[in-house]
A = this chain, B = another copy of it.
Amino acid sequence: MPLNRTQSDSSEEIKPETNSNTIEIIPVSGLPIITQGDNLAQLILRTMKKKRQEIKKGDIVAIAHTVVSIAEGKLVQSTDVNVSPKAERLALLNERKPQKIQTALNEACEIIREEPVLITRTKHGLITDMSGVDESNAPEGYYVLLPEDPDKSANEISRLLSQMYGFEVPVIIADTQGRPWRRGAVNLAIGVAGMSPFAVNAGQRDLFNRQLKSSLVCIADELAAASELVMGQADEGIPVAIIRGVIWTYSGEVARDILRSDTENLF
C-alpha cells in the first residue's frame, strides 16, 4: 500500500485485519484542549498510547472539524468583527448575534436563504447554515470557522499518521450540518484523505443471488454520520473516533468531489 498517495493509482480494496464483519466505532477520549499550532496527528497518537488504544491497518480516523480549525488558527474574535447594516438586519431576523452573522457572511460566496436561518454556499462549495461558523467548542469570545481547505487538512493529518504507523491511515473531517427537508443535523464529510469517499456496490449479489447494478454510495458521509454517534453522546467533548472494520478503496477523489455542480444537482 503506497504511502505516497500522489503517485498512487491503486484502487485495490483494503480489507480490515479482523475475522469478524462487525464494524467498530471507537471514541478517542482524553485529548488535551487543542490550541493554534497543535499537531493533531501527534496528539491523537499520544492520547491513544496513554489509553493503550492503537490505530490498526485498515482503520479510518474521523475528526470533528472544530479541532482541525482551532489547530489551524481559523478563529475570529467576536470583538474584531466589523458589523455591516445587512448583518444587523439579518441578526434580528435570525435572532443571532450580529457579529456571528457577519462572520458567516464573510465566509459565504453565495446567500441561499436569509431567514429564519442564514443558509449560504461557503467558499468551499458547501451549502450549510451560518457558513459553518460555530461558537461551541471555541475559546470564549471566539467563533470557529471551517478549515480553509478541509481536504488539504485531512491529507496533512493522514500523511503524518501514515508516516507514524507505516501504513495508510485515511482521515475524514466531519461537520454537523442541517439538511433540506429533514429535521435534525447529521455529521457529513467535509474533508477526506487516503480513501475514496465513495463505494461502488458493484459485483455483489443481491438477496436473490443476482448481480446487482452498480450503485454509488457515499461512504465518507456514512462514516462521518457513524462517528457522530460516539462524538455526540459523550459527556465530555470527543472530537476523534476510530472506525474499524470497513472495506475501503483509494480513488484519488476527495470530499470536494462529493459536491454536485449546480447543473448536476438533481433535486
A residues neighboring B (CB under 8 Å): 21-27, 29, 33-34, 66-67, 112-113, 116-117, 119, 127, 129, 135-140, 176, 178-188, 197-199, 201, 204-208, 210, 212-213, 215-219, 221-223, 225-226, 228-230, 232-237, 239, 245-247, 257-260, 264-267
Contact = CB atoms under 8 A, between A and B. Distances in A.
Given A24-B25, A181-B259, 11 more contacts: A25-B226, A136-B213, A178-B267, A181-B260, A182-B188, A182-B218, A183-B216, A183-B264, A199-B232, A205-B237, A206-B237
Contacts of A208: 33, 137-140
Contacts of A221: 182, 184, 186, 225
A88 to B, nearest CB: 22
Copies of this protein, total? 2
A263 to B, nearest CB: 11
A106 B136 CA distance: 46
Given A208-B140, A267-B119, A258 B182 contact: yes
5 contacts: A22-B24, A25-B25, A181-B265, A184-B221, A205-B235
Contact of A23 (B197, B223, B230, B237): B230
